A = this chain, B = another copy of it.
Amino acid sequence: MQGSHLLAEFFGCQGDDALLTNAAALRKFCLDKVVASGLTIVGESFYQFEPQGATGAVVLAESHLAIHTWPEHSYVSLDIFVCNYTKDNTSKAMLIYEALKAAFQPTQDVLNTIARGEVPTEDAA
C-alpha cells in the first residue's frame, strides 16, 4: 500500500474568520470539499475549543483529513493522507488543500508531501 500525505501549515490567516473560530463552520467546509473532491467520507469528528479554536478529523475510505486551528496565532495545521490503493488520489487531496488554502488566505505557508507505505530498502530497527 502506498499513499501520499500532505502536511500543510498556514500562517497569518486572513481569510474567513468563521473557519478559524467555529468548529461547525470548519466541519461543513471540510466535508463539502471532501465530497467535491470525489474522496469518500466514512466518519468524522469535530470539536469546538473555548474560548476559541476548532479541531477535527474526517475519516476517509482513502485514509484521513485532520485540521486544527489556533485563531490566537492565525495558524492552521492541515493533514490530508490519501492511499493510492486502486488509483492515485493525490490530485483529489490537492483539490482539498487548494480550497482550504484559498479560504484561509495565509500570508505564509508550508506544504510537505510525504510518501507513505513504502517498504524500506534496508532493515529498519
Contact = CB atoms under 8 A, between A and B. Distances in A.
Contacts of A112: 114
A15 to B, nearest CB: 17
A86 interface: no
Chain copies in the assembly? 2
A24 to B, nearest CB: 13
Contacts of A124: 108-110
A56 B43 contact: yes
A38 interface: no
A108 B123 contact: yes
Contact of A57 (B57, B61, B109, B123): B57
Instruction: Give the contact-size bracket for chain A.
Output: 35 or more
A69 to B, nearest CB: 10
A68 B57 contact: no
A64 B68 contact: yes
Nearest to A8: B116
Lowest 4 CB-CB distances: which A-B pairs, in order? A43-B45, A57-B57, A42-B47, A45-B45
